[in-house]
Amino acid sequence: MRSNLTVVSCAVRRLVVMLGLCLRLATTSAYAQAERPDVIAAWNSLAHDVAVAEDQFLTFKGQRALAMMHLAMHDALNAIVPVYQTYAYEGGSGLAHPIAATAQGAYDVLL
């Protein structure tokens, strides 16, 4: 069983990572480039940086988060412009903006 100090330490570390993520989102990355088509690359860079800060890719948690993020972005874009088979999302909405949908998919998975 973990000691209270270990639990608090993990919680503080996660809070610092999340605050760093929010700060970076507010100042650069995907939000600053929201109107550019390279939003996927921007979110990929952000997710990679967060994963490295979390555990330096010593576990598969970072790779899992990156894979889930990319699948969510794929399904969000494919719901608007259906070209490929979806992985997880079954709905559809042709009324959304493609870049906003991919950014929202990444945001929902990472946060």
Given a cut of 90, is residue 71 above it in pLDDT? yes
Given a cut of 50, is residue 33 above it in pLDDT? no
Q: What is d(CA 34, CA 37) in angstroms, rounded to the nearest whole number?
A: 8
Given a cut of 90, is residue 11 above it in pLDDT? no
pLDDT, average across residues 34-60: 81
Place of tokens 């809070």: 15
- Convert the pLDDT of each residue in 102-111 to its tens digit: 999 999 998 8
State if pTM tops 0.75: no
CB 105 within 8 A of CB 75: yes
